[in-house]
A = this chain, B = another copy of it.
């Protein structure tokens, strides 16, 4: 009886995935000056069941008022705090190729609590360059800089076949969480947090639905 992933997770992952959208919606309402919002309104916006919304929000300290709804400002404040968007964490990115430099260009990460302090690569052509104000170093310098800059997250954007090597180095360097953008799955000690994000999975889902439509025609 092997346990493949020890989920001692209070908040379901689908819930956390929906929360940033609740937040975005509430921020919009706040800008428009709306003070309260009901689960029905949020659900209508999200195309989901209203009880799903109340269940999701019940994981936070937000409480609604009968016949009134939730306070918009409370949703904004509590959710950004809850999702960790209001505290800035430092990260290093390894692999300043196409996807890596893509992420470096996205200043949205900054707004959501992630600061990429430096990037690393082995390609002499990119080392020394600055991408969107983030300097690219040789990967050998990771250790020293990680200690210096209090970095807790490593972002992997190298080719899939090198993902494990980079992960091993990150673990050795004392990183706490790894955001893995390659389709490769990495092996790390139990206390290291790994989040796999494969953009191309989303593409696969779209293609699958497109093909399904063709089948139904």
Contacts and interface: CB of A to CB of B under 8 A. Distances in A.
Interface of A: 4-5, 8-11, 13, 16-17, 19-21, 23-25, 27-28, 31, 45-49, 82-85, 89, 98-99, 101-103, 105-109, 112-114, 132, 152-153, 160-161, 176-177, 179, 182-185, 187, 191, 193, 195-213, 216
B208 A84 contact: yes
A86 to B, nearest CB: 10
A83 B160 contact: no
Contacts of A132: 98
Contacts of A160: 24, 27-28
Given A8-B212, A16-B201, A21-B184, 10 more contacts: A17-B204, A20-B200, A21-B185, A28-B160, A45-B185, A84-B204, A84-B208, A85-B207, A112-B204, A114-B203
Given A84-B210, A183-B20, A13 B198 contact: no
A161 B27 CA distance: 10
A89 to B, nearest CB: 7
Given A16-B205, A21-B183, A199 B198 contact: no
Contact of A206 (B48, B195, B199): B195
Contact of A24 (B82, B106, B183): B183
A195 B205 contact: yes
A160 B25 CA distance: 9
Contact of A83 (B8, B9, B82, B204): B204
Contacts of A206: 84, 153, 177, 179, 193, 195
Contact of A47 (B4, B11, B207, B211): B4
Given A11-B208, A83-B208, A177-B206, A200 B112 contact: yes
B210 A177 contact: yes
